[in-house]
A and B are shown apart, each in its own frame.
Chain A
């Protein structure tokens, strides 16, 4: 799936905004850094988070990484397939391995997020 329309956090989550809904996952760079993903912990529908709060975690064989929500909102849907098949995050991070959908609390919060281009620069500089 294309990732040009996504916004990124410094912690390597992505956000796709469709109307009032935000879909959230982790970047291809992040899944590569993590390696074989074996476990993911996600919130429940109805949970509310403020921008920057931890909403779950993702674990590979060698590392754990907390997941930080890019913008504030209420979880309306959690990807039901990742519990049994966390390896999908390695295979399709921008597509079928989305993690949660939220109802955006404030669409203006995206100011601090990076565009695809900015994120690519950021991950290069991080190395």
Chain B
């Protein structure tokens, strides 16, 4: 795979026997010991993911917030220092440029975390609206991002850090040191489980990876790849850009209306989204379960009354629930809970049913 980018931990993944696949322009570990084992580790203990392919932008300047407010749909004006927020960027038609996390360091310094495949597109998009004399810097290549996810993550990281993490609420972050490395430790993730994401400078990648691995091993921590990350995020109904939403689906159709804040002032996509909100969406992303043993996969046709009305955007066995689950855009009149429809699995019509999401929700406390 000669043309793909590699994270600073590539040699570590090789040594651990990871299977590597192309993903978003990167050669990334898809699994180490197997997706089922890794998935289960996150639900019951902990796992360590290298997600350094994700992109990070620093946004700095007195009007940094104004720029972020203009290009994102959620209200970053509500953030306090040390807080993070799930948000999105919308095209003028209300469709999705990307979903992202917005981190507020202080009122003049933010970090945006974007999808790997969208780094260049997002950077150009934000820069094209930069009439706020704000500095946008793509620091992706210098930053390593590790995710420690699972109920034991807190014990593992508290043993390594001198920081009390129990007091760090979800979607907040703190600056800390792991070994000698300065790190941002953020209570966020993409698994539906408690966990942390750790941003650090690339040169510390291997020592921090090893330290977390060693501290975590006695508690059941395993290295995990993008395969488990995908099954975990789908169970939690966390959307994947390029599958579940993209430049052809609006944020409201994708069920992301909760990160569109019309009262915060002007932003790209606002007019179209407001109009769609008033008129109502014609289709929406719904979660479903297969009623037989067949597994729905992305791109499989969704059939209602003999007509193909859409396709599956994500589909997989749910390792936790032992069912086959998926997401698909359905006409709103067929999207209510309990509604049955068909998924065409290799030209066979198989029964599916709209179910409540998230498919999996962790027990609190």
Contacts and interface: CB of A to CB of B under 8 A. Distances in A.
B34 interface: yes
A32 B32 CA distance: 11
Contacts of B149: none
Interface string B226-270: 010011000000000000000000000000000000000000000
Interface string B313-334: 0001101000000000000000
A123 interface: no
Nearest to B227: A62
A66 B346 contact: yes
A35 B346 contact: no
Given A61-B319, A64-B297, A35 B19 contact: yes
A59 B324 CA distance: 12
Given A35-B31, A35-B35, A38-B317, A61 B231 contact: yes
B41 interface: no
Contacts of B363: none
Interface in B27-67: 30-31, 34-36, 39
Nearest to B348: A41
Contacts of B19: 32, 35
Given A35-B227, A38-B317, A61-B36, 20 more contacts: A35-B19, A35-B31, A35-B34, A35-B35, A36-B34, A36-B35, A36-B36, A39-B293, A39-B294, A39-B295, A60-B35, A61-B39, A61-B316, A61-B319, A62-B30, A62-B35, A62-B227, A62-B231, A62-B316, A64-B297
Nearest to B315: A64
A61 B316 CA distance: 6
Contacts of A62: 30, 35, 227, 230-231, 316
A37 B283 CA distance: 34
A83 to B, nearest CB: 9
B35 A59 contact: no
Interface residues of B, dominant DSSP: mixed
Interface of A: 32, 35-36, 38-39, 57, 59-64, 66, 127
Contacts of A32: 19
Nearest to A64: B297
A59 B230 CA distance: 16
A62 to B, nearest CB: 5
29 contacts: A35-B19, A35-B31, A35-B34, A35-B35, A35-B227, A36-B34, A36-B36, A38-B317, A39-B294, A39-B295, A39-B317, A57-B346, A59-B295, A59-B317, A61-B35, A61-B36, A61-B227, A61-B231, A61-B316, A61-B317, A61-B319, A62-B35, A62-B230, A62-B231, A62-B316, A63-B297, A64-B295, A64-B297, A66-B346
Nearest to B319: A61
A75 to B, nearest CB: 18
Contacts of A64: 295, 297
A36 B231 CA distance: 13
Nearest to B316: A61
A36 B227 CA distance: 10
Nearest to A59: B295
Interface centre among A35, A57, A62, A63 (most CB of B within 10 A): A62
Contacts of A60: 35
Interface in B260-316: 293-295, 297, 316
B240 to A, nearest CB: 13
A32 B294 CA distance: 22
Contacts of B231: 61-62
A61 B294 CA distance: 12
Nearest to B322: A38
Interface string B331-351: 000000000000000100000
A4 B299 CA distance: 38
A39 B316 CA distance: 12
B318 to A, nearest CB: 10
Interface string B111-154: 00000000000000000000000000000000000000000000
Contacts of A39: 293-295, 317
A36 B1 CA distance: 23
A2 to B, nearest CB: 24
